[in-house]
Amino acid sequence: MRLLVVEDDPDLNRQLVSALSDAGYAVDTAADGEEGHFLGDTEPYDAVVLDLGLPKMDGISVLEQWRRDSRNMPVLILTARERWSDKVAGMDAGADDYVAKPFHMEEVLARLRALLRRSAGHASNELECGPVVLDTKQARVTADGQAIKLTSHEYRVFVYLMLHRDRVVSRTELVEHLYDQDFDRDSNTVEVFIGRLRKKLPGNLIKTVRGLGYRLSDRPDEA
C-alpha cells in the first residue's frame, strides 16, 4: 500500500515516514501544501496523512481542492489538540479521520489500517481467502493456522491483492500502489513476487487473467 505524508515539521515528517515504512508501507513525502497537493493530485495513493498547518498552501485548501478534483483517497488529518475548530473544518473539507498532536505513532498506524480496510470494503482486521488468513493488525499471514513467512515486498503485494479480493488487479496498478516515486517502474519484480507468493500460498489462489492482470480468489471455477 502506498501512502503520502504531507508534514512541514522535518522531525515529525521523518518519524512518520520511518514508522510507516517499518509497518510495510511505501511512503512518499512532501514538506509544504503545494508539493503535497501536486503529489496527491497526480499519484494514486491508498491514503494520505495531511497536516493542516502547512506553508505555501494550508491543509484545508489542499484537501478541498483534492475533493473538488474527485480525488477520493482516505485522508487522515493532523491537528493541534486545542484547535477543535480545525478538526471540524478538516472533516467538513472531506477528511476521513483525524489525530490530534501530540500523538502516539501506534494510534496513527491503527487509524490508517482502519481507513485502508474501510476504503476497500472490509470491516475486520482479519481478511480471509480460502484457508489463508491475513491479520492486518499483526501483519501476519497464516494458512490453516500455520504461519507463512513473507518478505516485506511479498507482503505488500499480498495485502493489496487481499484487500481487492475477487477483482482483477493489473501489473501497472500493483506497481503504482506498492512502490514510492523512486522505484524503477520498468522492473519485472511484480511478476517475481507473484511467483514467490504462489509457491508459498496453498492452492491456486492467485489467478492470472491473460492480458489484464491478477485476481486473488478461492473460487475453483476461475482461471
Sequential pLDDT tens for the chain (223 residues):
899 999 999 999 999 999 999 998 999 999 999 999 999 999 999 999 999 999 999 999 999 999 999 999 999 999 886 778 888 999 999 999 999 998 999 999 999 999 998 988 888 889 999 999 999 888 899 998 899 999 988 999 999 999 999 999 998 898 888 877 766 655 578 889 999 999 999 888 999 999 899 999 988 654 4
- Alpha-carbon gap, residue 206 to 12, rounded angstroms: 38
Are 87 and 23 within one domain? yes
- Alpha-carbon gap, residue 185 to 175, rounded angstroms: 7
CA-to-CA separations, 129 to 9, 144, 152, 218, in angstroms, rounded: 41, 11, 20, 6
pLDDT the model gives residue 37: 97
For the chain, the distance separating the N- and C-terminal CA atoms, rounded to the nearest angstrom, is: 26
pLDDT the model gives residue 187: 58
pLDDT the model gives residue 182: 64
pLDDT the model gives residue 221: 54
Tell me, what CATH number does 156's domain have? Answer: 1.10.10.10
Are 135 and 189 within one domain? yes
What residue numbers bound the domain in which 166 lies?
Answer: 126-216
Q: Is residue 153 in some structural domain?
A: yes
Are 207 and 132 within one domain? yes
Q: How many domains does the chain have?
A: 2
Residue 148 is placed in which grid cell? 507463512
Boundary of a domain, candidates 98, 119, 140: 119
* 159-201 tens-digit pLDDT: 999 999 999 999 889 888 887 776 665 557 888 999 999 999 9
> Which residue in the block uniquely carries the three cell numbers 519485472?
188
> Would you say 189 and 211 are in contact if contact means Cβ atoms under 8 Å apart?
no
Are 64 and 44 within one domain? yes
Boundary of a domain, candidates 104, 119, 134: 119
Boundary of a domain, candidates 96, 119, 142: 119
- Alpha-carbon gap, residue 77 to 186, rounded angstroms: 33
Going by DSSP bridges, is the β-strand pair 75-80/97-101 parallel, antiparallel, or unpaired?
A: parallel
